[in-house]
Amino acid sequence: MKAIVHHEYGSPDVLKLEEVQKPAPADNELLIKVFAVSLNRSDWEGLTGKPLYARIGGLIKPNDKIPGSDIAGIVEAVGKDVRQFKPGDEVFGLILNYGGGFAEYACKSERALALKPASMTFEEAAAIPQAAFIALQGIREKGQVQPGQKVLINGAGGGAGTFAIQLAKLAGAEVTGVDNTEKLELMKSLGADHVIDHTQQDFTKNGNQYDLILDVIAHRSVFAYARALKPNGTYFFVGGSVAILFQILFLGPLIRRITGKHIKLLAVQTDSKDLVYMTELIESGKVILVIDKRYSFSQAAEALRYLGEGHAKGKVVLTVEHALDW
Ligand SMILES: NC(=O)c1ccc[n+]([C@@H]2O[C@H](COP(=O)([O-])OP(=O)(O)OC[C@H]3O[C@@H](n4cnc5c(N)ncnc54)[C@H](OP(=O)(O)O)[C@@H]3O)[C@@H](O)[C@H]2O)c1
């Protein structure tokens, strides 16, 4: 089968379209013919090897050579222990090791997989998984946002952020979205009450305090985040610098003891029910799925460059064309 592969960390130039062995499903896995795969920042991180946590499993060279974790496609075969899906089912979900989706076929377990609604295209379904898990858990399940609370989402114009703005508004919160200049209008259009351009203003220095900060791209010190939280407020680190992650893991508990403010890592769980719930919100029109650009499979490098260079508003999706001349 064809796959987009990188044998070293680097820019999108290191990506190559190669012939690789078609995977075979283990007893608990499905073989999925992939029709669409969406891009996440984790793909960019895995490609460039930055931050350092992206090199877990391959310090010098990548172990997972095929990017892509959010896929949608048709089940071609199932292992003997698979119970919920059968060949021919249209499905979508997250590959749990965050790789392998930039390919004609991928194997994954039943976890974090759901039936694709007939109303959605493969591209739409592929745009949902990772971003939905982060947003649903950050805002609803672990964030437990309540009406009237002040919520700030840092990196709100990206995949997880565009869902998070809308979920926080649905919960009745007053929402501030932070992202770059290009994404201010998008954040407003999704319901953000306030927007901050991070190239112009540091949200931890403007004197405002929040009940919840969901940070998909953390680069400030743990003390700056504490300053921006209300007493008893919660800050969630989703992604960002490893140095900040260590500060949060080691100093977060201390800050909580002294100030009562909760500063912690959001360890995202992957449960199929979140996928079903998010598709229901999208189908009912309560949440808008923001797909900025669609690329063909062979344009994967260009698509990743678009995301990595900071232009992507919401999600970017690759369509995997089968039976075409490569
Ligand atoms: N904790 C967990 O369990 C878990 C699980 C899965 C994924 N993750 C992590 O979650 C993150 C995924 O986020 P995503 O896919 O939603 O990313 P994304 O789509 O790239 O969105 C991030 C947004 O932040 C913006 N941004 C960049 N620098 C910023 C700054 N200094 N201040 C404010 N905004 C800034 C980006 O804009 P530009 O386009 O200008 O860069 C982009 O719009 C990744 O870091 C991934 O590793 C964590």
What is the C-alpha separation between 257 and 172, in angstroms, rounded?
A: 29
Angle CA 241–242–247, to nearest 5:
100
Q: What is the pLDDT of residue 64?
A: 87
Q: What is the pLDDT of residues 165-192, one digit of tens each?
A: 999 999 999 999 999 999 999 999 999 9
The answer to whether 142 and 105 are in contact (CB under 8 A) is no
For residue 126, which of 49, 74, 170, 179 has the smallest C-alpha distance? 74
Chain mean pLDDT for the chain:
96
Task: For ligand 1, say whether the CB of 161 is within 6 Å of any of its atoms.
Answer: yes
pLDDT confidence of residue 236: 98
Residue 325 has pLDDT above 60, yes or no: no
Regarding the beta carbon of 259 and ligand 1, being less than 6 Å apart is answered no
Q: How far apart are CA 281 and CA 152, in angstroms?
A: 21
What gap in Å lies between CA 247 and CA 254, rounded to an integer? 10
Q: Is the CB of 131 inside a 6 Å radius of any atom of ligand 1?
A: yes
pLDDT bracket for residue 323 (50, 70, 90): low
Query: Does the structure show a pLDDT above 60 at 326?
Result: no
Mutate to test the pocket of ligand 1, among 202, 217, 311 (most ligand atoms within 8 A of CB): 217
Residue 147 confidence class, pLDDT cut points 50, 70, 90:
very high
Query: What pLDDT is attached to residue 98?
Result: 76
Residue % of the chain over a pLDDT of 70 = 99
Q: Can you spell out the DSSP letters for 87-104?
A: TT-EEEEE-TTS---SBS
Compute the distance from residue 191 Cα to the ligand 1 centre, in Å. Answer: 19
pLDDT-derived band of residue 322, with 50, 70 and 90 as boundaries?
confident
pTM listed for this prediction? 0.96
Say if ligand 1 is within 6 A of residue 42 CB. Answer: yes
- Please give the Cα distance from 102 to 43 (Å, whole number): 10
Q: How far is the CA of 158 from the centre of ligand 1 (A)?
A: 6
> 184 C-alpha vs ligand 1 centroid, how far in Å?
15
- For the segment 75-113, what is each residue's pLDDT rounded down to a tens digit? 999 999 999 999 999 999 999 887 899 999 999 999 999
How far is residue 232 from each of residues 203, 210, 228, 254, measured CA to CA in Å?
19, 10, 12, 14
Selection from 130, 124, 164, 170 nearest residue 147 by Cα: 170
